[in-house]
Every structure is written in structure tokens, then in C-alpha cells.
């Protein structure tokens, strides 16, 4: 205990001396530095300090550059996101404009067709449903009795005959396509005027049967409605002959017909409203009586 107290007393008594010695040493170092006595030592110490300072400076510059690059990258990412959003919006608008232009062109074609067709009145209808199964091939249009649509009216496009109305409500109608297997249309070869019956095949194509053996039927000939039977107006395009062969019974010819209409992509059609199918069943009843 006494030794510890004595040590603290000695330290307190020598603090003044220690401070004086320290101040004198500092004064000597300052004076020595001013007069150049410490220059070799300062130079020796400055070399590693300067090297360390250069390293730290390069590190700081790289960190600043990295921070600047990071900020630039973030700004570019934000700009890229904005451009992608704008591009998506422009693409949606472009798709919409293309659809409008496509609809306009189709409607313009239909209107042009109606203006060049004499003695026919039309109602433009939009296809709202399509049934292309193997049993019954129909489309549904958004026009009905309110628009003057009735059962039996022919349905056409600029490319030719689509079918005829088989059911109708106030605001819609079902149209049986000419490719349906129960459909039958009286047809005529446009070049030779040879007549036959066009019906739908199970594969969705068209076949023209009962062509006379002596009739010249060639690939590429157009087939139009003949008007016989009173179900359709005459001279509506049905399709184009792709091949001809003898019928199985050997008494006539049979032609494969390709419609000019793509029934899978129908969007707008024309309903001929001033054509009334002829009901020939009354004559059958009179004959039986």
C-alpha cells in the first residue's frame, strides 16, 4: 500500500518535469526540421507515407467511380423500364390500329362488292361463333329478325358463297356452311356451263357431282351457282375446280372444288335480304295427289 502511494506521489511530482522535457523535445524537433537537420529522416518516413497515400487515393477514386457507375446503372435501369412500358403500350395501340385497319379493309371490300352487285340488297353481319365439327358446320352471326333476316337467305362474301340461314332469332342467326355434308347447291361450270350438284365432303372440302360425261371440266375452272332449285341466286362463286375424275357409278364425272373462302377466319359476311327461296314442295304434294 505504501509503495503504491509513494509511486503516485512520485508521478505527480515528476509530471512537471515530464511536460517540460516533452516540450523541449518538440521544440528541438521543430527547430531541427526548420534548419534541415531532420530532412533525411523526414524523407525516409515520407516514402512509405506517400506510397500509402497513393494507394488510398486510388482506392478512393475507384470507390467514387464505382459509386458513379452504380448510380448510372440504376438510372439506366429505370430508363429501360420506362422505355419497355412505353413500348408495350405502343405495341398494344399498334395491334388495335392494325385490327381497325383490317376490319376497315374487309368492310370496304364488302361495301365495294355490294356496290357492284345488281338487284341484290345486303345486310353486313359479324361472325360471333363458329362450329366446324365433323357433324354440322355452322356459323352464328349477330343479325336477326330485327334486321330483316329470315330463314333461307343466302350468305356471301366478296370471295363467294358462304351458306344459307337455317335458324334465326331477334338478334342472331345460324348459317349452315356449304361445306356441311347435308348441304347441296346447284352449280355450274363457268366456262362450259355444264351443271351439277355441289355438296360438302366429310373432310370439309367441296365436291361437284353429276357432271355429264361429255362435259369438259378442267382444273382451275370456276364453279358458280346455277339458280336451279330456287335455293340460291344464280352466278354466285362457289369455288374452283382442283381435280376431275369419273364418278364411281361411271355415269358422270366428279370434281373436287376448293372454296375461295377461308371458313376458319370468317369475321364479316353479307346476308342477301331481298332473295326469297322458292318453295317447290307444294308441287311435290300436287303431283302425289
In a domain, 37, yes or no: no
DSSP 147: G
Confidence of residue 76 (pLDDT cuts 50, 70, 90): confident
Confidence category of residue 238, pLDDT binned at 50, 70, 90: very high
Residue 24 lies inside a defined structural domain of this protein: no
Mean pLDDT of 169-179: 95
Structurally, how many domains does the chain consist of? 1
Distance (Å, rounded) from C-alpha 242 to C-alpha 210? 16
Higher pLDDT, 33 or 89: 89
Strand (E) positions, 116-236? 122-132, 137-141, 154-157, 160-168, 173-177, 184-189, 195-200, 206-211, 222-225
222 occurs within a structural domain: yes
Q: Average of pLDDT values for 208-219?
A: 92
pTM (global) more than 0.75 = no
pLDDT value of residue 173: 97
pLDDT of residue 118: 58
Using pLDDT thresholds of 50, 70 and 90, give the confidence band for residue 52: low
Give the domain CATH number at 179.
Answer: 2.40.10.350
Provide CB contacts within 8 A for 122, sequence distance 6+. 110, 114, 270, 271, 272, 273
DSSP tag of 145: G
Span 144-155, average pLDDT: 95
pLDDT above 90 coverage of the chain, percent: 37
Quick one: pLDDT at residue 89? 73
Q: Which residues pair with 138 in a beta bridge?
A: 131, 176
- The answer as to whether 171 is a domain residue is yes
* Positive/negative CA dihedral, 107, 113, 116, 121: negative
- The pLDDT of residue 276: 82
Mean pLDDT of 171-178: 96
Residue 109 has pLDDT above 70, yes or no: no
Query: Looking at residues 36-51, what average pLDDT do you find?
Result: 62
**What is the Cα–Cα distance from 135 to 128, expressed in whole angstroms?**
20
Domain that holds residue 195: 122-276
Structural domain contains residue 102: no
Cα torsion 146, 148, 150, 152 to 10°: value is: -150
Nearest 10 degrees: CA dihedral of 80, 85, 87, 89?
-170
Instruction: Say if 128 falls within a structural domain.
Output: yes
- What mean pLDDT is predicted for residues 96-119? 63
Residues 112 and 172: their CA atoms lie apart, in Å, by: 25
Q: What is the pLDDT of residue 83?
A: 75
Using an 8 Å Cβ cutoff, are 269 and 127 in contact? Answer: yes
Phi, psi of 154 (to 5 degrees): -70, 150
Residue 98 counted as domain residue: no
**Does residue 227 contact residue 186 with C-beta atoms inside 8 Å?**
yes
Whether 233 is covered by a domain: the verdict is: yes
pLDDT over 70 (residue 37): no
Place of cell 356459323: 139
**Residue bearing the bigger pLDDT, 72 or 156:** 156
Amino acid at each position: 500500500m505504501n509503495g503504491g502511494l509513494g509511486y503516485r506521489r512520485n508521478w505527480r511530482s515528476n509530471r512537471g518535469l515530464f511536460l517540460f522535457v516533452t516540450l523541449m523535445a518538440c521544440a528541438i524537433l521543430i527547430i531541427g526540421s526548420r534548419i534541415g537537420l531532420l530532412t533525411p529522416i523526414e524523407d525516409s518516413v515520407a516514402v512509405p507515407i506517400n506510397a500509402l497515400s497513393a494507394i488510398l487515393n486510388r482506392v478512393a477514386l475507384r470507390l467514387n467511380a464505382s459509386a458513379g457507375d452504380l448510380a448510372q446503372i440504376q438510372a439506366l435501369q429505370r430508363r429501360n423500364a420506362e422505355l419497355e412500358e412505353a413500348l408495350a403500350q405502343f405495341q398494344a395501340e399498334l395491334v388495335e390500329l392494325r385490327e381497325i385497319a383490317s376490319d376497315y379493309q374487309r368492310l370496304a371490300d364488302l361495301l365495294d362488292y355490294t356496290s357492284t352487285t345488281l338487284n341484290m340488297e345486303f345486310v353486313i353481319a359479324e361472325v360471333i361463333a363458329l362450329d366446324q365439327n365433323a357433324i354440322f358446320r355452322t356459323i352464328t352471326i349477330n343479325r336477326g329478325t330485327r334486321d330483316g333476316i329470315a330463314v333461307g337467305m343466302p350468305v356471301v362474301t366478296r370471295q363467294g358463297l358462304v351458306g344459307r340461314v337455317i335458324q334465326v332469332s331477334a338478334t342472331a342467326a345460324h348459317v349452315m356452311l356449304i361445306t356441311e355434308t347435308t348441304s347441296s347447291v346447284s352449280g355450274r361450270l363457268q366456262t362450259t356451263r355444264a351443271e351439277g350438284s355441289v355438296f360438302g365432303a366429310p373432310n370439309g372440302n367441296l365436291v361437284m357431282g353429276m357432271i355429264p360425261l361429255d362435259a369438259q371440266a378442267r382444273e382451275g375452272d370456276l364453279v358458280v351457282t346455277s339458280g336451279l332449285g330456287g335455293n340460291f341466286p344464280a352466278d354466285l362463286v362457289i369455288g374452283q375446280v382442283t381435280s376431275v375424275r369419273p364418278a364411281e357409278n361411271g355415269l358422270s364425272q366428279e370434281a373436287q372444288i376448293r372454296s375461295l373462302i377461308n371458313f376458319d377466319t370468317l369475321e364479316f359476311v353479307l346476308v342477301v335480304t331481298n332473295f326469297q327461296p322458292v318453295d317447290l314442295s307444294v308441287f311435290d304434294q300436287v303431283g302425289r295427289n
